[in-house]
Amino acid sequence: KVADGEEVRRKLHNTIQELKGNIRVFCRVRPPLPEDEKEGAGEPPILQYPTSAELAGRGVELVPAAGPKYPFAFDKVFGPEAPQAEVFQEISMLVQSALDGYKVCIFAYGQTGSGKTHTMLGVPQPAEARGMIPRSLEQIFQASQHLEAQGWTFTMQASMLEIYNESLRDLLVPASAQKDKAADAGGKAHAIKHDAQGNTTVADLTLVEVATWHEVELMMQKAAQSRTVGRTAMNERSSRSHCVFTLRIAGSNETTEQTVNGVLNLIDLAGSERLSRSGATGDRLKETQAINKSLSCLGDVISAIANRDAHVPYRNSKLTYLLQPCLGGDSKTLMFVNIAPDRSSFNESLCSLRFAAKVNSCEIGVPRRQARVKDASGQ
C-alpha cells in the first residue's frame, strides 16, 4: 500500500514530535498598540500567517520591506486576536501534568514590550485578560480539590525570585530587609542545591504554603512591592531580570500509598533586545551582556535537550542551573516566543523567531529533521 499524503504528513509530524521530546514552542504576536498604529499607518503588516493545510495555526512569516519573506513554523502560532482563554486551552494539559508529578517549565521569551508579562500574568480585570499564571493556579487548586475527595492530600508551596546580573533575589523579602547584600552582589547569596531525587533547595528562599489563587495573588502583590524602587526603576529592572514563580506540589494518597512530587515553574524572562537597540554603556552594558549570556545559555540547554546531546550545559547560567531538574529528563518545557508587530521591531522579531526556531528546530528553509524524515519515507 502506498502511503497517501495525509499519512506521510502525520508520520512526519509524529516523528518530529518524538525527536523533540517534551519541548514545545508557541509563538504569540501581540496586537498593535495605539502608538504602533500611528507609526505604521498605511504600511503593509510585517507578519503574515500561512493558511495552507500544513501550516495553518502553526506558521508565521516575517515580511521585510523588500525581498523574500522569512517563514517559520512552531507547535502553535497565536495571532494578535487570540484571547488569553484560547492560549490557556493549549497549555492546560501541560499545567495539569504538574499535579501528576511532572516537573514543568513555562517560559515567556521576547523583547521588552512584546507581551511576555501580558501572557504570563495579564491583568486582573476584565477576567478575560488574566494570563497563564492565574489560570494555571486556579486550575491546579480546583483539580487538587477533586483529588482530595478521592483520598489525596496536597501540600503546595510557592516562591518568587528574581535573577538579575546572575544573582538571585527573594522577591518575598522587602528590598530594605534583604540579608547579606554584599554576598548578593557577588552572586553568592541563595546557594542552589539539587538532591538525587531532583528536589531543589535555594538557601534562605521564602516558601509560602498556598491553597487558593487569592493567597498567591496576595503573595505576588507583596513581591511587586518588594520590587518598588520608584516606578521607572521597577519597570527598567523588571525588564532586565528573569522572574521565576515556582509552585512545588507534594501529594500523597493514604489509601493507595501513592505519592507525587510535581513542580510548576512560570518564568517571565528578561527582555531579549540586543545591545544596539538599548544603546548600552557602563553598568547597563554589563547588565545587557549578563542577560544575553543567560538567554543564550537557556537556548543552548533547550536545544541540547531537544537534540539529545550527551552534554547539556546547565551550569553556564544561574537560570539553567536553578531549573536543571525541571529541564530535560521526563520534565516538560514550553516556551512562548512573544513578538511585537511593529516594523521598527523587525530585527528584534527576526532574532526572537530564530532563537525559538533554534530551540525547536522548526525553521522552514533549514529543515534538518524534516529532511531526515523525508528520506525515511522514500520521497
Smallest separation, CB 149 to ligand ADP (Å) = 36
Residues 6 or more apart whose CB falls under 8 angstroms from that of 371 comprise none
Number of residues engaging ligand ADP in binding (CB under 6 A): 13
Is 67 annotated to bind ligand? no
Smallest separation, CB 79 to ligand ADP (Å) = 10
Smallest separation, CB 238 to Mg ion (Å) = 6
Residue type, 353: L
Using the minimum distance from each CB to Mg ion, give the nearer residue, 312 or 334.
Answer: 334
Q: Please tell me the distance from the alpha carbon of residue 43 to that of residue 37, in angstroms, as a whole number.
A: 10
Q: Which of 159, 331, 338, 361 binds ligand ADP (CB under 6 A)?
A: 338
User: What's the Cα-to-Cα distance from 199 to each of 94, 224, 264, rounded to whole Å?
Assistant: 20, 27, 13
Return phi, psi of residue 70, to 5°. Answer: -105, 105
Using the minimum distance from each CB to Mg ion, give the nearer residue, 116 or 169.
Answer: 116
Give yes or no for a contact between 240 and 247, defined as CB atoms under 8 angstroms apart: no
Binding partner at 122 among Mg ion, ligand ADP, none, C-beta below 5 to 8 Å by kind:
none
Smallest separation, CB 327 to ligand ADP (Å) = 22
Q: Which of 24, 30, 58, 130 binds ligand ADP (CB under 6 A)?
A: 30
Q: Please tell me the distance from the alpha carbon of residue 328 to that of residue 351, in angstroms, as a whole number.
A: 24
Grid coordinates in use for 180? 547579606
Q: Which of 50, 59, 113, 251 binds ligand ADP (CB under 6 A)?
A: 113
Is 57 annotated to bind ligand? no
Binding partner at 63 among Mg ion, ligand ADP, none, C-beta below 5 to 8 Å by kind:
none
Using the minimum distance from each CB to ligand ADP, give the nearer residue, 32 or 198.
Answer: 32
Smallest separation, CB 5 to ligand ADP (Å) = 35
Place of cell 493545510: 53
Is 112 annotated to bind ligand? yes
Q: What angle do CA 136, 137, 142 make, to 5 degrees?
A: 105
Helix (H) or strand (E) holding 72: strand 70-73
Return phi, psi of residue 233, to 5°. Answer: -55, -40
Site membership for ligand ADP, residue 114 (CB under 6 A) = yes
Using the minimum distance from each CB to ligand ADP, give the nearer residue, 22 or 338.
Answer: 338
Q: Please tell me the distance from the alpha carbon of residue 302 to that of residue 311, in angstroms, as a whole number.
A: 12
Binding site for Mg ion (CB under 5 A): 116-117
Q: Which of 50, 110, 299, 341 binds ligand ADP (CB under 6 A)?
A: 110
Q: Please tell me the distance from the alpha carbon of residue 28 to that of residue 41, in angstroms, as a whole number.
A: 22
Residues 160-219 that bind ligand ADP (CB under 6 A): none
Q: Which of 118, 130, 169, 369 binds ligand ADP (CB under 6 A)?
A: 118
Q: Please tell me the distance from the alpha carbon of residue 326 to that of residue 341, in angstroms, as a whole number.
A: 32
Is 116 annotated to bind ligand? yes
Helix (H) or strand (E) holding 76: strand 76-78
Site membership for ligand ADP, residue 131 (CB under 6 A) = no
Using the minimum distance from each CB to Mg ion, give the nearer residue, 114 or 360.
Answer: 114
Give yes or no for a contact between 247 and 156, defined as CB atoms under 8 angstroms apart: yes
x/- mask, ligand ADP, residues 235-264, rule CB under 6 A, reads ----x-------------------------
Smallest separation, CB 355 to Mg ion (Å) = 17
Is 114 annotated to bind ligand? yes
Q: In terms of Cα–Cα distance, which of 332, 378, 350, 366 is closest to 21?
A: 332
Q: What angle do CA 299, 301, 305 make, to 5 degrees?
A: 115
Give yes or no for a contact between 298 and 356, defined as CB atoms under 8 angstroms apart: no
Q: CB under 6 A: which stretch of 66-74, 116-124, 191-199, 290-298 binds ligand ADP?
A: 116-124
Q: Please tell me the distance from the alpha carbon of residue 308 to that of residue 313, in angstroms, as a whole number.
A: 12
Residue stretches of the annotated binding site for ATP: 110-117
- Sites of contact with ligand ADP (CB under 6 A): 30-31, 33, 110, 112-118, 239, 338
Binding residues: 110-117
